[in-house]
Amino acid sequence: HFHPDIISMEHRRLLLSVFQAFEKNPKQKIYFENVKTFQLDACLDALCEYVKSPSGLQEQLITIGMEAALGRIVAIRGKESGVHGHNLDNDLATKILIYLNRHLSEEITLDHLAEQFLLSKHYLNRVFRKAVGTTVFDYLIQKRVIYAQQLLINGCSAADAAAAAGFADYSAFYRAYKRILGHSPLMDRGVLPPVSGILDPHIAESIKVTKNV
């Protein structure tokens, strides 16, 4: 019985990971054996002592104590189930990727993502870069440029493609497009061939007659 805000943003995702299954099924109990090996009882005793501290110090000590207790629980869970922090980070990066792809055309900032995933901006970007190999912002720009390219190829105007892909500023879109693809957006506009691939001779003759008339 504690509020998640007690935990720092940087550590919240990891320290609350144990309770994810409980949130999906509240009737499920979280039970561990041999907790004395991990000195969890000492952490809980310390929390009780921190509550008695002066008000100016109490909040900071409770945060430290709560994180220590939750850290012990995560360690117990990891030892019993074989779950490691690396797997948790990969799961987080996957969730961020899914979110970015679903909201590609919307305004997305690190502040927004940090709030969405209850993490600090620094930790979120670090986990994402480790898993994907690039920053959240660079990944987002590349995905938007590729999406805009497909729209251009299908005949969409450069301005409309930029807006649909989530670029609020056309000049920023143009610079990103040239940097990533090596040429201007106009070179990709409407480059798809006719559906049949070959123009029917009768249609070609009709076009010729119309032009002559």
Q: Is the per-residue pLDDT at 46 higher than 80?
A: yes
CB-facing half-sphere around the CA of 47: CA atoms within 13 A: 16
Q: Is the per-residue pLDDT at 213 higher than 60?
A: no
pLDDT value of position 212:
39
CA distance 105 to 116: 17
Q: What tokens does 103 get?
A: 């909201």
* Sign, CA torsion 78/82/83/84: positive
Q: What is the pTM of this model?
A: 0.52
Q: Is the per-residue pLDDT at 175 higher than 90?
A: yes
Band the pLDDT of 177: cuts 50, 70, 90.
Answer: very high
Band the pLDDT of 74: cuts 50, 70, 90.
Answer: confident
pLDDT value of position 42:
79
CB atoms within 10 A of CB 94: 12
Which among 109, 116, 113, 122 is positioned nearest to 168, based on CA atoms? 109
